Structure 1
Amino acid sequence: MSEKRTAADLAWWIVLIAWSLAILFPIVWILYESLKTNQEFFQNVWSFPDTLKWVNYKNAWLKYGIGDAMLNTLYYVGASLLIGTFLTTLNAYALTRMEFKGRKLLWGTIMLSLFLPGINALIPQYVLMRELHLTNSLTGLVLLDSLGENVFFLMLLGGFMRSLPKELEESAFMDGASLFQVFARIMLPLSVPGIVTVAIFKFLGLYNNFLGPFIYLSDQSKYTIGVTMYAANQMMQYSADWVTMFAGVTIAMVPSILLYILFQRSIMEGATLGAVKG
């Protein structure tokens, strides 16, 4: 039995290593391609550069307007993250810790929306945004992504809050605390691991969001980093400056990679803590 388990572990280890290499290889390839000259790139896409051309990063920053795109992305992601995470926390608390008539029906209706493809809401959302004069506006995008609740995040944070002891709230109410005080002073601090996990997932989703900004933004000066890099890729139809584009892609990847490196432990702990307690 031990030998079978060891063989299975070895097989899984090989699969995971292969999977990791499949993820890392494109990142490494883009990195060293971004340090070549275009001549070296077209001669052999697999060879390493003779000398490192760091000037490609400067050219990408200036040519594609990555600095302005990063500022737009910072506003869009930052505002959406703060407002959206706060609203998700409020909704999760109301649906999992408060008792009111119709709560189960409301929760069931929200769960039912998991079976509806999000693309179905694209046209109604666009019509609504257009009628409210919120198209071609970063603030409009912030409102759309903040007020549009994600069921996955609601389930994740709701499951975490449901695992917290009910006696904490009951004791606070007996001591005369209001509903807001219980939420702000008890539930909010205890739910920080779950909130951090939701915030990290929200950040990754917002930062990598392409479809929303691409559809609603028509002014190039308002483009987020995802749409900016798409526009850079479209420019390759008329030029062949691939190494500069690879440098731009590398710059665009940096925030997500840094976030994952810094908060990977928080992601794993926050995603499983509620299930362990429950």
Structure 2
Amino acid sequence: MRTPRTWIDFILRLLLLLWAITVIFPVIWLLYESLKTNPEFFQNIWALPEKWNWVNYKHAWESYDMGRTMLNTLYYVGVGLVLGTFLTTLNAYALTRFAFRGRKLIWGLIMLSLFLPGINALIPQYVLMRDLHMTNSLTGLIILDSLGESVFFLMLLGGFMQSLPGELEESARMDGASLFQVFWRIIVPLSTPGIVTVAIFKFLGLYNNFLHPFIYLSDPAKYTIGVNMYQANKMMQYTADWVTLFAGVTIAMIPSLIVYICFQRQIAEGSTLGAVKG
């Protein structure tokens, strides 16, 4: 039997609608501003363009060297995503499926790190990266972000793995499977929903990451998309070519929007499933 809606439900839906508008409207505004000319932009920022100037996107692609920047971002995000997701899965498996001395202490330290702002590790990380000669390197940046484990991802995937029955591993070991075979052929396939959720969050985090690339990359030829757009924004005080900048920002946000739109259900279901089962 369907529960009748009350006035509270309508208020909540109205609040959600207003919240959605505050998110969608800036994106729509950015899109039609990127199709204006600069005189139109300065005359009235709220008016629609008289003519769709798609050439702004060509200018943005060429002016900001978006092709090379996208390749840098693809390398950084792609390799970092695969390596980071594998290490997170391995760490979650070791901390949830093995009973060893000191495991509770390790989990306690991991939980304690939630109370420490990540910015506190910035200086020690930079000193370490400098001493290892890994600054101004996309590969060094990948290693830093892959080895820097996230507590949220460990808790999410660890909670999911804890729900798996231990009899599966015992049966596999009795059949002669090695430790890695148990992990790769049993735990990983059964944990696919949680792993996919972690991978999506990692992709969005890596693609939108600005601080680490901004600090560690000094060569413009190695910039990722976030740093490249920041440098383009700084140039506006000299050029004031805002419509080209808006076109570049639109190009930059397309991959993350596509990933989020395609996998939004997996993000919601995976996050809830890991939390409930943990």
Fold equivalence (TM over 0.5): yes
Match of 1:8 in 2: 8
Give ranges in structure 1 of 5+ residues lacking alignment.
none
Query: What is the TM-score normalised by the length of structure 2?
Result: 0.97
Match of 2:257 in 1: 257
- Describe the SS at the equivalent of 1:133: coil
State the Cα distance separating 1:275 from its structure 2 match.
3.8
State the Cα distance separating 1:176 from its structure 2 match.
2.6
- Cα contact 2:93–2:158 (8 A) shared by 1: yes
Q: Give the distance between the partners of 1:62 and 1:233, measured in 2 at CA.
A: 15
Name which of structure 1's ranges 229-238 and 258-267 shifts more when overlaid on structure 2. Answer: 258-267
Match of 2:152 in 1: 152
Match of 2:202 in 1: 202
Describe the shift of the 1:126–1:277 C-alpha distance in structure 2 as closer, same or farther (beyond 3 A). closer
Within 5 A, what are the aligned runs for 1:43-192?
Answer: 43-192=43-192
- Cα contact 2:81–2:203 (8 A) shared by 1: yes
- Cα contact 2:60–2:245 (8 A) shared by 1: yes
Name which of structure 1's ranges 171-180 and 154-163 shifts more when overlaid on structure 2. Answer: 171-180
State the Cα distance separating 1:239 from its structure 2 match.
1.1
Match of 1:240 in 2: 240
Q: Give the distance between the partners of 1:261 and 1:30, measured in 2 at CA.
A: 18
Match of 2:42 in 1: 42
- Letter in structure 2 aligned against 1:259: V
- Cα contact 1:163–1:274 (8 A) shared by 2: no
Q: Give the distance between the partners of 2:130 and 2:263, measured in 1 at CA.
A: 38
State the Cα distance separating 1:174 from its structure 2 match.
2.6
State the Cα distance separating 1:201 from its structure 2 match.
0.1
Structure 1, residues 142-190: CA drift from partner, whole Å, max 9, x if none?
A: 0100111111111111011111122211222233322111111110100
Structure 1, residues 207-244: CA drift from partner, whole Å, max 9, x if none?
A: 00000000011110100000000000000010111000
Q: Give the distance between the partners of 1:242 and 1:226, measured in 2 at CA.
A: 17
Name which of structure 1's ranges 4-13 and 86-95 shifts more when overlaid on structure 2. Answer: 4-13
- Describe the SS at the equivalent of 1:237: helix
4+ residue segments displaced more than 4 Å: 2-5
Identity %: 74
- Letter in structure 2 aligned against 1:71: L
Structure 1, residues 86-128: CA drift from partner, whole Å, max 9, x if none?
A: 0000000000011111111111111111111100000000011
- Letter in structure 1 aligned against 2:19: W
State the Cα distance separating 1:28 from its structure 2 match.
0.4
Q: Give the distance between the partners of 2:202 and 2:222, measured in 1 at CA.
A: 21
State the Cα distance separating 1:6 from its structure 2 match.
1.1
State the Cα distance separating 1:129 from its structure 2 match.
0.5
Matched residue pairs, number?
Answer: 277
- Letter in structure 2 aligned against 1:258: I
- Cα contact 2:197–2:267 (8 A) shared by 1: yes
- Cα contact 1:35–1:52 (8 A) shared by 2: yes
Q: Give the distance between the partners of 1:263 and 1:185, measured in 2 at CA.
A: 25
Q: Give the distance between the partners of 1:121 and 1:108, measured in 2 at CA.
A: 19
Q: Give the distance between the partners of 2:164 and 2:97, measured in 1 at CA.
A: 9
Query: What is the TM-score normalised by the length of structure 1?
Result: 0.97
Give ranges in structure 2 of 5+ residues lacking alignment.
none
Name which of structure 1's ranges 5-14 and 167-176 shifts more when overlaid on structure 2. Answer: 167-176
Q: Give the distance between the partners of 2:210 and 2:275, measured in 1 at CA.
A: 32
- Cα contact 1:233–1:245 (8 A) shared by 2: yes
State the Cα distance separating 1:273 from its structure 2 match.
2.0
Q: Give the distance between the partners of 2:123 and 2:26, measured in 1 at CA.
A: 34
Q: Give the distance between the partners of 1:176 and 1:99, measured in 2 at CA.
A: 21
Name which of structure 1's ranges 156-165 and 196-205 shifts more when overlaid on structure 2. Answer: 156-165
Match of 2:228 in 1: 228
